[in-house]
Structures are given as structure tokens and as C-alpha cells.
A and B are shown apart, each in its own frame.
Chain A
Amino acid sequence: MSVNNRQSGPGGRPGGPGGFGGGGPMGLVMPVEKPKNAKGTLRRLLAYFQPSWPWLAVVLAAAILSTVFNVLSPKLLGNITTDLFQGVIQKLHGVPGGGVNFPTIVRLLADLAFLYVFSALFSWVQQYVMAGVAQRTVFTIRQQVAEKLPRLPVAFFDTHPHGEVLSRFVNDFDNISSTLQQSLTQAITAAVTFIGVVIMMLTISPLLTAVIAATLPLSFIVTKGIATRSQRYFLDRQRRLGALNGHVEEMYTGHLIVKAFGHERRSIEQFEAINTQLYDSTWRAQFVTGIIMPLMNVIGNLGYVLVAVIGGILVAQGAMPIGDIQAFIQYARQFTQPITQLSSISNVIQSALASSERVFEILDEPEEAPDPVPADDVPAPRGAVAFRDVSFRYQPAEPLIDNLNIDVPAGAMVAIVGPTGAGKTTLVNLLMRFYDVQHGRITVDGHDVSTLARHRLRELLGMVLQDTWLFHGTIRDNIGYGRADATLEDIVAAAQAAHADHFIRTLPDGYETVLNEEASNISAGQRQLLTIARAFVADPPILILDEATSSVDTRTEVAIQQAMANLMRGRTSFVIAHRLSTIRDADLILVMHHGRIIEQGTHEGLLARGGFYHDLYESQFSGREDEATAAL
């Protein structure tokens, strides 16, 4: 961005000490996102700075000093020129002892060097200190949000896609971070520069100041005109780029389908149409941003010429020392710069505020109901679970579970069956208290789960789901995840019980093998074995299992079955069942359809009833009723 801050042309001087980022013309021409409540968000954001106010004071002081020194230097340089000029004139006129007064020049030059050195020093200090302040502030906010997430109800994550939450962490924090880093100090610098320059200009020549001020409206009109137009082109370009990216993504991910159905030509035609539109809006957007600098230059040079001419006349008439023109030209340059800078910084800040607002939205989300104090406890859990008149619905208008009553004695096995998408996870959600029932109660050994602390309840329940979540870390840590104080012996014993020990030992680093991000260095079946081992380590009295069979090879499948059987021994278990043998052995079968439990009972009882379960059973194992019934 620093490139855009450049002021080319005669007398061009760099802007304030802040060279990087934020203030370039790009900030002016890009479309800006506006915060809904700018003031409130700003106040809230600034409150985060409170702990570092002494540092902020340093930043402020350094910024002001650096800028003031910077503003003084052209005048000093002008004075030197004047002195040189007078020396020359004296010599020209043959004044005795005339000529350049070098002692004065040396003193002035020393002063000038002093100003330059200290301006640079303070500018450095200001940015250096700000780096710490800004990044630490961002750290605090980011940490706050991260700590907020675990306190949010699971419903929040089910209704907000992960990508959305991630994007707040990545894009929004990036935006906030760079704005805090650069734009705040730039704003200070620009403001001080502007005031300082106006004062200096007025002291040199009110007439010339008026001349320069007269060119101001011109630059306003130009920037305003370009900014509105360019925002349209940029939005246009963004939209078309989005369309193009979408098309490319679809066609590449679906390239087999495109080919299989012979639509290559159609795909290219569509692409070229979008590509041509993109060409059009690209050059327009590029052109519009490209002309801001030249146009501002022309206007700047206009002022320059006017100052040179009018100043020249004034000097010639002896109404003004020559060095003042030189100084004035430099000031004139710095005069328009803070104005454009400020307006683009204000856009940058607005977009950062919009980002902050989104982040604060997360912080303001309602949290889960707190655990009861004092919380109840289940001292010696046996694992009897009961649902009493339980009603639950995700959407108030869509009834799901009404007056459900289930009795599961300790050690029993419950099979949950139903077609795909029947909402079997709802039961998991309720048992784990990821969602709370709206009516009735769920008890464990007679204790209402809502009277237990959540962490206590979850100690009682183990979960082995089809979605085998493992994290980037060693196998040992992943299995040990089930219990914080698990020893290596516990972990190996669990792995053995889960039939995972063998394959773990064939891996290059055994238990210390690091699973990569997608855990793709082990197979899907092996992942399931690890999650079973993890549940073994946790050793809960109650289990929730998902008996999924897809994409697992036969041998691993057998291992998983045995491991699950081992795990269920002596525990109460809820199994999302797919296998006939499991279903038949269950003490209780819950039949789900469209999210509701429509039937419950034992295998024989449900078959005899001739209801949905009966149909389901027949269709699943069609053509084999004889064999199946024969086995009953």
C-alpha cells in the first residue's frame, strides 16, 4: 500500500511518518462495509485499550513530536535557501564582506539534521510501541471469543456454519489487527500534519494559502466522483469474479460428470461468457483506480505552478523571502495529503468496526444455562436411564418428541433404528444435554440430568459416533483424550480392548504417530477403532454408539464389531443400529421416523405388531423373511 501513498511530482514529499498500509487511494475506491452502530462499537473496541493506556500515551506523544518536527523542517530548509540567496545577492551587489554566512548556515543545517533525526526516531518509536499494543489487544479479544465458544449452546453451532465462525476469526480479526496497527496512528499523524501545515502556511503567506485552498474543492470533486464510480466497478468486478470462481469450482469438482455427460463444450461456453464480462469490469475498475493518482497530481501541480508564479512575483517584489516559496511548495504538497488520507482511513476504520461488530456479536450471544449450584451427584453410577414425559422440538412450530417415556435398566442395550435422516442424533443430543428437553425429565439412576453439572453428566456417558473426530496430535494423546489423567498403560490397555493395539504398533511411530489434520494417514475403520479405545479410557457406565458400516473393509469391520461388543459389556448402551443381529439382541428397540419415535418394544413384539418396524425389517432384508423368522 505504501506505493499508493507516494506523492510524485515536483516538491513531492512523503507523507507523515506512517508509510505502510491503510491510507492509500485503494481505501477510497473500494466499496466499504458500514458498521450498524459505529459509535457503540468504537467505544467498546477502545475499552480494550484501557490496560495499555500508558503505552498509548507514548504512542500519541511520539506521533505528535515526530509530526511536528516533520512539519517544521521545510520552513527551516526554506530559511537556509533564503540565507544562501541573500549571500548571493550581496555578492552580486558587491556588498563588502558579503557572501554566504556559513556559520549561520552550519547552525541551521545542524538544526535541520536534528529535526530529521528526531522525527525519524519518534516515528519509529511510535510504530514500534503500537505494534505491541495493537497485537496484544487483538490477542485479548481473540482469546475472549475463543473462551466464549465453549459456553455457547450447541444449537449455536448447529445454526451457524463452521465457515462463518472461522471467517470471523480469520478475516475479521485480520482486518481489526491491521487497522489497529496502522490506521489509528495514521489518523493521528494526518490530523496533526494538517493542523501544523495550515499554521505554517498561514504564517508564511495568507495569500498563497488562499490560493492553495482554492484548489481544494477541485480535488474533492475529483475524488468524490471517482470514488462513487469506482465502488460500482469494484462491486461489479467482485460479483463477476465470484461467478467465475463458482463456475470453475463447480466444473472442476464435477469434471467427471461434465465429461460423463458430454457437456464440455457447454461448460467452456458458459465460462467464456463470464470471463468476457470479467474482462470488462476488470479493466474499468483498474482504470478508475489508476487515474486517481495522475489526476490528483495534476491538481497538485496546478497549485505548485500557481505558488511558483505568484510566489515568484512576491519575491521579485521583495514581499517574501525566496526560501519561503520553497517551503510553501512543500507544505502545499502535505496539505492535500492528510485530507485524502483521512477520508480513506475513515473507510478503513469503518470496515474494521463492521468486523469488530461481528466479533462482538459472538461475545453477546446468550450462553448455556449455568449448572445448578449446588449440583446433584450420582455417587455410585449404575447406568439406569429413564425418560419421563419428555417433549422436545428444535423449532417451536415443529413437534418432534412428545410425552416420550422410556425405561432402560442398568446394563441394558437399546437399539435405535429408522431410515436415514430419521433424526436419531436427536436422542444423542438430549442424553448428552447438548440440547435441553422442554418438558419432562431424563434421569440417570433416578437423578434428573438437569440437576447434575454438565461435566458430571458427561463423565457418565461415553460417545462413539460415526463422525470420528480426532485431532492433530499423537495417537496416544487422542486415545488419552477420554480422561485427562490416563497413563500410557491405561491407553495401551484400552487400545488392546478396542482391537487397535495391533495396527497402532504397525505404524511408523507406534503410539507416538502424529495424526495429520484430516487424520487421513489412517483408514476410516482405524479411526473408528481409536474412538472406541478413547471411550474405553473414559470408562463410562453409559454408552452411545453409532454402528455405521460404510467405507470400512471387511476385516476392520469385524474388528470394530468385536471392539464394540467388548465396550458394551457391563454398560448401559444406546446403539444407533444398522445390523440385524444387534437389533435382535436389543432389550429395547426405538423406531424413529421423521425425527419422531413412532414405535418402541422388543424385536418380536414389534414384528407382531405389523407396523412401521415390520415394513422396515422386511424391506431391509427382503426375500429372506423365511430365514429371518426361522431364526427367531
Chain B
Amino acid sequence: MLKLWRFLRPDRRFVLGVLVLTFLQTMSTLYLPTLMANIVDNGVITGHIGYIVRVGAVMLAVTVAGGVAAVLASLYSSYAMAGFGQRIRSRLFRHVGAFTLREFDQVGTSSLIVRTTNDVMQVQQLVGMILRMMVMAPLTAIGGIILAVYTDASLTWIVLVSLPLMAGSIALVMGKGLALFRSIQTKVDQLNRVLRESLTGMRVIRAFNRTSYEVERFRGANRDLTDTSVAVFQLMAILMPAVMLVMNLSIVAVVWFGGLQINAGTLQIGQLMAFIQYVMQIMFAVMMVSMMMFMIPRGQASALRINEVLDMDTDITDPAGGARAPRDAERGVVRFEHVTFAYPGAEEPALSDISFTARAGETTAIIGGTGAGKSTLVNLIPRFYDATEGRVLVGGRDVRAWEQEALRAEIGYVPSRAVLFSGTVADNIRYGDLAADDHAVRRAAAIAQATEFIDRLPDGFETVINQGGANLSGGQKQRLAIARALVRRAPIYLLDDCFSALDYRTDAQLRQALHREARDATVIIVAQRVSTVRDADQIIVLDDGRVAGSGRHADLMASSAVYREIVASQLSPEESA
């Protein structure tokens, strides 16, 4: 948490203002009982009405002044907390923006999202609360104690006894409660899980006639959650009454011992009334501080998670004076030279000693089972990862010598899982090339075999796609992702297993169209289906991160056992000939 305070620095005059104003507000609040005591002791007892009215006027002025201070303090603290959140968010977003796959894999995308949104909110709320409440509480407590001592030092011991008593009982209950609250959270998660399972598996559950079993499973989770909730609320039920009791009994003690002193003439009645009010204010302050203490761990956890991200640095950075263009003769050529790649912390490399060249005007296909390293290989080309050993060359230059933006401008990339952004169909295609005109967008869509379904959408190319493309099928999203890459007219196309969501027919049509269109480009296709790759100029067979063969379909059928095995699993013997 402390490390994040630096984000408050630009607003330090607001913070200072909050401190000063809160102090003034507290003083005004504490001053009122003193004035009240004066009214009683000097005005009421002597029957001096003019005095009463005069002091009343002062009280009024103090009240209003305190109110003004409080409103201003609230304004300043609002500025400070909003600015604090804005700066952290901005810093996080830019920082994460520079992350590559490695960092995303390490933290997890959804966790990064939560950290940028929710965690920042948490920390921001905490700062808001600290500025508004936590600053005030200690000031009130200290001021109250000083005034109490000043009014009657001999009664102060009551405060000193009851304060720890109160703080102790709060700590006891909340400490226990906190553990229970945490266990409620896990029970809620459990209930959710059971429910989500029974929703996603609804057809299977009904098919196997197991609905009553599922209802019982839910009942168990429900019972568990209910029992824990009851325990928590029953425990928390004691908190307020106990706190109030401690406070009220201290007041009884104050009145009793104060009464003795009044009788002895060492204390005035108005002072006793004031003292009672000080006691209440001190106790409230303590109550608030202790309650808020329990808000801190939550904010603290968020702060830790934010710092973790900020402390993470990506090692993929632009070199000084990085290349912006390929060597002319080698434009579009992708070459792997003895490339080995291991994921951080992995025992075995995901790719070992990979060498091949993908030439312009040719289609290079990469095939292999799950976990063979196909996607890893593709990710090295736009430098989403850096090779551990060996080097990857694009356009005749090591990718690490390129300026990242220029390198990626050479590539039309289609990921294996189609990611679309909210916006229209046309916006999504145009994402590949912001300067593309309508004609270019339509053309790319046509090559990607997307025109037919786009025309059937309610607003055609202007149809709005929901976040994540929820209103499109997997195959439709995939075709738009392909169109997005095509509209770039880049010298290199990287198609990472994007045909699996398409049926064979569309797959074939798309490959034919692509072949016509990208005649001069380097096309690298990752695929699972033999039918997708069999016409490629070069097929690279990956098995456990190694090249298990390369060449054309016919060559590989003769030379590569792994390839034959793959083919055998997908085609009947007659077809594979």
C-alpha cells in the first residue's frame, strides 16, 4: 500500500488541505460541548440570559465554520482519491500494454483485467476512506482526550480503562468474523460451481436422469453456505450491543465519580455534561478506527496485486535504432535458424533446434499433435516471445533487430482463437488497416468467405458486434479475423490454426481464394487437418517440439512416420495415397 502513495504526490496540496480542514472540523465539533458547559456553568446557574444568547451565537458560528471546513475537506479528498485512481489505472494500462505473451501467461489475462479495474477501485476506495474518516478519527480521539484531561484529569482513568476494553472486544469479534467471512466466500464459490456445472451440463444431467442427484448436491452446498452465514451473523450480532454497553457503562461511571466531585465542589455540572460528550466522541472515534482497520487488509491485498504487475518488466523491447524495413531481396522471407525455445521455468524446451525457411510466394504448413509446439513457433515470428537459442529472421533481419511496430506491419496475423472487438463488422476488418476503403474491406471479406454470412446479418457490414463477438458463431468470427489480416495486404500471412472452426468445404474454398490472392506473399499455416495442409509447398511436421520431417505431402508420406500416423488417423488408407 505504501508503495502506491507516490500516486498521491501530484495531489499533495489537496491532501494537506484535507488534513488542515479536517483538523478544523474536529476542533469545531469538540469545542461545542465546552461552550455548552460555559452556558450551563456561567449562564444558567447565574441566570445570565444575555450570556446564554451570546455563547449560543458563538456556537452557531463554530458550527457553520466546522460545516464549511468539512465540505471543503470532502471536496479536496474527492479530488485526491479520484486522481489517485486515475493515475494508477493509467500507469497500469500503459505498463501492461507493453507486456507480451510471457507476462500475460504468467499472471493470466483475467487476473490482469481484475487488477486494472477492480483492484484499483478497491485501493481507491480505501484511500477515499482514509482521507475522509481515518484522518478524522485519531484527531477526534486525541483532541477528545486532551479536552477530557483538561476538564477533569481525575475522571480520565475511566476512559483509559474502557478504551482498551472496547478496542479489545471489537478486535476479538472482528478477528473471528473475518475468518468466517472468508469461509463464506469459499462457500459461495462452491455453490456457484455446483450451479454452473448443473447449468452447463444440463443436457447430460437430464440424459443420464441425474437431476435429483444434482438437486441434492446443491442442497449440500446451500446448507453449508446457510450454516456459515448464520454463524457469521450470530457472531456479529454481539458486536454493536457489546460496544454500546461498554460505552454506556463508562458514562454511568463518569456520572458517579463526577457526582462525587460535584458534591465536593471540585467539578461544575456543565463540565460533567461536557465530559460525558467527550467520552462518547472518543469512543466513537476508537470504534471507527478499529472497524476501518478491517477494511485495510482488503485494500492491502489489492495493492500487493497492483505492485506485482508494476514491478514486472518485459524483456522484449525495441533495440536502439531498430530496423524499420526489410532487406529488399528478402522481403517476406521468414527463416528459423536453430531455434530453441523454453517457457520460463519449464524443464523441457517447447521447441528444439528448429530450422526452416518460408519463402515468398509459397505456402508453408505446420502440422503436429496438441502440444507439439505449433503455436509457440508461430508466436516467435511477430516476436510475441523471444527465442531462447538461435534466431528468427524476418525479411533478412533478426526479429530482435527490428522495431516491433515495423516488424508487425510486415505480418497479417490470424490467431487460433478469433478475438474481435466491439464495433461494426467493417470496423473489425478495418482494424487490419485503418486506411482501407469500403472496397478493400469487402474484398478481404470475400476472400475470407465471409460475404455470404455478413450479407445475411441484419445490417450487413454495419452490424454491431457485441463484446467478444458473442453474437457470431466460431466459424464466423474466424472468417472475420482472417479478413482482418487480409485487408493488410502484408508480405507475410500467419494463420495459426484458424481453419479448425471452419467446415471442410469453407476451408477448401478459403484456401483456394487465399492462394489466388496472396500469390506473392509468404503464407504460413498451422493446421490439425491433413486436408488443410496437403497442397502446401512445404509441410513441416512437428512432434514434441522437434521437426519430424519436412517436404511435400507425397515426400512426407514416404519419409515421415509421424506424418503417416497423423494421416492415418484422419483419412482412410485409400484417400491418403
Contact = CB atoms under 8 A, between A and B. Distances in A.
Interface string A484-527: 10000000000000000000000000000000010000011100
Interface in B526-577: 528-529, 531, 535, 565-566, 568-572, 574-575, 577
Nearest to B196: A166
Interface in B239-254: 239-245, 247-249, 251-252
Contacts of B277: 10-12
Given A170-B192, A259-B100, A552-B370, A557 B569 contact: yes
A298 B132 CA distance: 17
Interface in B23-67: 25, 29, 32-33, 36, 39-40, 43-49, 52-53, 55-56, 59-60, 63-64, 66-67
Contacts of B192: 166, 169-170
Contacts of B302: none
A550 B528 contact: yes
B569 to A, nearest CB: 5
B40 A150 contact: no
Given A87-B263, A275-B89, A262 B81 contact: no
A317 B47 contact: yes
Contacts of A437: none
Contacts of A9: 29, 32
Contacts of B238: 124, 128
A8 interface: yes
Contacts of B291: 2-3
Contacts of A124: 237-238, 241-242
B222 A142 contact: yes
B402 to A, nearest CB: 12
A524 B370 CA distance: 10
Interface stretch (A35-43, A132-140, A384-392, A565-573): A132-140
5 contacts: A81-B273, A127-B237, A166-B192, A271-B90, A290-B132
Contacts of B272: 81, 84
Interface string B252-270: 1001101100110100010
B222 A100 contact: no
B109 A253 contact: yes
A278 B86 contact: yes
B531 A621 contact: yes
Contact of A17 (B240, B405, B569): B240
A19 interface: yes
Main secondary structure of the interface of B (DSSP, over half): helix
Contacts of A87: 262-263
A282 B85 contact: yes
B77 interface: yes
Contacts of B104: 252, 255
A473 to B, nearest CB: 9
B78 A290 contact: yes
A120 B112 CA distance: 47
Contacts of B132: 290
A552 B49 CA distance: 94
A121 B241 contact: yes
Given A150-B211, A471-B197, A84 B81 contact: no
A244 interface: yes
Nearest to B197: A471
Given A123-B241, A131-B237, A553-B369, A312 B67 contact: no
Question: Which of A126, A481, A538, A615 counts the most B-chain CB atoms under 10 A from its CB?
Answer: A481
A262 B405 contact: yes
A402 B473 CA distance: 25
B67 A580 contact: no
Interface string B446-471: 00000000000000000000011000
B2 to A, nearest CB: 22
Interface residues of A, number: 172
Given A275-B89, A481-B208, 10 more contacts: A91-B265, A124-B242, A126-B237, A130-B237, A162-B199, A166-B192, A295-B67, A301-B67, A312-B52, A620-B505
Contacts of B502: 420
Nearest to B29: A9
Nearest to B367: A554
Interface stretch (A341-349, A440-448, A459-467): A459-467
B549 to A, nearest CB: 14
A260 B244 contact: no
Contacts of B307: none
A203 interface: no
A105 B244 CA distance: 22
Contact of B117 (A245, A534, A621): A245
Interface in A287-311: 287, 290-291, 293-295, 297-298, 301-302, 304-306, 308-309
A20 interface: yes
Nearest to B369: A553
B408 A8 contact: no
Interface string A324-340: 00100000000000000
A267 B252 contact: no
Contacts of B408: 259-262
B40 A481 contact: no
Given A248-B116, A253-B109, A257-B415, A105 B259 contact: yes
Contacts of B47: 316-317
A549 B247 CA distance: 71
A301 B214 CA distance: 59
B43 A627 contact: no
Given A143-B222, A166-B196, A580-B575, A301 B63 contact: yes
A199 interface: no
A165 B215 contact: no
A8 B284 contact: yes
Which 9 A-B residue pairings sit nearest by Cβ, starting from the closest?
Answer: A553-B369, A294-B70, A290-B74, A131-B233, A127-B237, A309-B56, A298-B67, A19-B240, A620-B504
A46 interface: no
Contact of B208 (A126, A166, A263, A538): A538
A88 B270 CA distance: 12
Nearest to A425: B203
A399 interface: no
A553 B101 CA distance: 24
A85 B269 contact: yes
A177 B228 CA distance: 13
A251 B431 CA distance: 13
B219 interface: yes
A294 B79 contact: no
Given A105-B259, A463-B203, A14 B244 contact: yes
